Structure 1
């Protein structure tokens, strides 16, 4: 018997970032995306209608701060967990998120690998909660370890092919300090958007690239990549 899917909602007003999160969720065999909200008001409706088990929650939204949702009764009634994703690096916000039971706290610019690890840990956490009706100390310790797991530093090279990596890196070596969008990398290399994003995030993880956010007068900031 196949395990049940875990419903996930995204609350994020940056369209490109919301699309990246949605892509990760849709690629995971145990996760099901039930909706995307770009404001607190939309999030309230989404939570009420879909009752997800997990929310990826941004903090800075057009009509308020996402941190206020952590005390929303809708979350507790639906037994819904939160992965808090924010540019807020102040200790007060971080402490408030921890006190209100956020499963994880991820700082922007978001690491593709870091979010993937968090989603995988949540799936394990969710499954173990359902499996164990009565717990002993070892079970409790295991649950807490999933929520506060130390991240191993590795080269993140799984699924990375040397030829494609060289192609992507050569583009940045040739153009010096130029900042590339994902779409420009796709156009220059001929890679699919999904593949381009994966290799760009790998290059960020390895220290070859860095992320810059371009804030225009209209619309949401764009995620750009340049040589570190």
Structure 2
């Protein structure tokens, strides 16, 4: 499991990012650091594998935080999230070793792509102590293509997907949440979120994030009519 620390001072954005992280198989959020000094402290003590770092933080920019992380010897990888689109910010982020740079506003698909690409690189470097040039070339230049539509990602099963899909089809609501489907299907909310994320990536579902006056933002899903036929390849 890849342990990820969220560095974000806006509680609502931090919660949304946490939900995004938890919906990607193989990743877990170890918490939120809302201040630069908290990021540095938790990076030193908890040693996360990956830090999701907002470039605008109170008292210190994300680039300055990243620079201090490197100066203190932190080996945590960093994905920067920013509304800044100037070349200097992007160049400095890359020079300091950021593994990705996501520009706000972004869609879940781009966020998910960043995590999955990171997971592939991390797995590549853990598989062997020595590499041939062809291995490195394959890692650096391979195209990031999705798995064939009829294949399920690791950790998902045809049987559970069928249960979740049945619950989705039987819901009488125009849209639904992971909690709705978990209640109707008897599958845990954590597992349901993984299946809903997969179905969204496959084009079977679409989603919107709703912000209420109180409480956490909630993802609401809808069936994409053009994607119904894809389900025949899975179940």
**In which range does the TM-score fall when normalised by the shorter chain?**
0.5 to 0.7
Deviations 1:39-68 (A, max 9, x none): 13321221233344x323142777489743
- Residue equivalent to 2:50: 55
Aligned to 1:15: 15
Segments of structure 2 that go 5 or more residues without pairing to the other structure are: 225-235
* Count, aligned residues: 210
Sort the Cα spacing of 1:170 and 1:16 in 2 relative to 1 into closer, same or farther, 3 A. Answer: same
Q: 1:188 aligns with which of 167, 179, 184?
A: 184
Structure 1 residues 49 and 222: CA distance shift in structure 2, 3 A: same
Cα drift, residue 36 of structure 1: 1.9
Cα 1:101–1:60, aligned 2, differ >3 Å: closer, same or farther? closer
Instruction: Report the TM-score, using the length of structure 1 for normalisation.
Output: 0.66
1:150 equivalent in structure 2: 143
Q: 1:211 aligns with which of 183, 207, 210?
A: 207
Partner of 2:175: 179
Q: Distance in 1 between matches of 2:60 and 2:165?
A: 38
Counterpart of 1:37 in structure 2 is 32
1:37-186 to 2 correspondence within 5 Å?
A: 37-41=32-36, 42-52=38-48, 54-59=49-54, 63=58, 67-68=62-63, 71-76=66-71, 77-84=73-80, 86=81, 88=83, 90=85, 97-105=93-101, 107-109=106-108, 115-125=115-125, 131-132=129-130, 138=133, 142=136, 146=139, 149-154=142-147, 155=149, 156-158=151-153, 159-175=155-171, 178-186=174-182
In structure 1, stretches of 5+ residues that fail to align are none
User: 2-side partners of 1:38 and 1:67: how far apart?
Assistant: 12
Q: TM-score scaled by structure 2?
A: 0.65
Give the alignment partner of residue 222 of structure 1, picking from 212, 218, 228: 218
Q: Distance in 2 between matches of 1:194 and 1:216?
A: 22
Query: What SS does the corresponding residue of 1:224 show, helix, strand or coil?
Result: strand
RMSD over aligned CA atoms reads 4.1
C-alpha deviations, 1:127-174, integer Å up to 9, x for none? 66xx35xx88x28x71x7546652122225135444433443344445
